[in-house]
Structures are given as C-alpha cells and as structure tokens.
Amino acid sequence: GRGRGRATTPPPQRSKLSPPSAALSDQSSTADLITEFEDLEVSADSSNSEYNPRSFPYSVKQQCWEKAENVKGRDPDRWRRDPLGNMVFRKLVGCPGCLCHDYDHIVPYSKGGKSTLQNCQVLQATVNRSKGNRTDISKADLIQKSSYCRVSGRDMDLIELSAYGNVRRGGDSSGGCNIQ
C-alpha cells in the first residue's frame, strides 16, 4: 500500500502555501503554476474593491510628489514644498531631518482614510509625526511643529551632488540670472 486513501481520491490541489521544495519535486508544477496564473484576475477598477493598503502604492506616491508645489529654480523631480511651505528633498523620505518627508494620509488611515492620490500629501516628516492621526489640528499649529532649516542654493547643490552625482536646475526659466 502507498498510503491510506491515496489510490481512491485524486491528490489535493497544491495550496499557495506549499513549500518551494514540494513544487520543485512535482513534474507537473510548471503546468499547475501556468494554470494558476491564467486563473488570476487583474482589475483596473478599484472602486468596487475593498483593497486599501496601509501605505500608498508606488504610482500614488509618484503622483502625490508631482502635485506638491515646485521649488523655484530647482528640479521638481528632486525638490518640492509641502502644504506648509517646508522644502523637502525627494530622496530623504521617512527620516526625521528638516528636508525629510513622508507621504501623509490627509484623512488618517486609522480613521478610514484611503491610500489614494486624493488623500495623499507630501508632508515634512517632523510635521507628519506631530500630526499623528489627528484631524482637528490647525495649519498654524502644524507650522509651529515644522522643523525649520535654512538651506542656501549652494547647500542644495551639495545635497543634489551627494545624492544624484550631479546638479539639475528647475525647468522654470522665469526671472533670475545664472552667473557662470
């Protein structure tokens, strides 16, 4: 005998939690995987979905950054201002410094806020930590919580040079002079 009940019942379908070694030892594993992938449904319409991740998807973060205010004379892919006017640097995310930012839920996630573009804002990390999940905090109070730092154009150049290996000026050529 090869084991109780195996001869009379078909083998159970492999669960998604099977260890990889089980998949590798099975001759039909590739065909099974292809079938599983063919059965997957991808829906672009999220309005009927209850899917609401705790953190913003990459594409939402991208668009959230793009909707933040530009910093005059600087590359908008690298520098933005939060709604309070604090300057933030693209690569400094999730850190506590004055140029660091978070992708903030305007209506907090814990209060039913969705991880959507409409509910996303780039916010200086210090301010976001102070805000927490409160919705009753005024803009004036948030400005008080801002971590202020004075950064010169030369400082910004050095930060860009350190992070990206070059310095790129903003696309807005309105006003100002570039003296070489």
- pLDDT 10s digits, 93-102: 999 999 999 9
Backbone φ, ψ for residue 96 (5° rounding): -90, -5
Q: Give the H or E element holding residue 127.
A: helix 125-131
85: left (phi over 0), alpha (psi -120 to 50) or beta: left
How far is the C-alpha of 83 from the C-alpha of 3, rounded, in Å?
67
Query: φ and ψ at 77, to 5 degrees?
Result: -75, -15
Domain parsing of the chain, residue ranges: 58-148
**pLDDT tens for residues 15-44?**
455 444 444 444 556 666 555 656 655 444
Beta bridge partners of 134: none
Q: Which residues of the chain, if any, have pLDDT below 70?
A: 1-50, 171-180
Name the pTM for this structure.
0.67
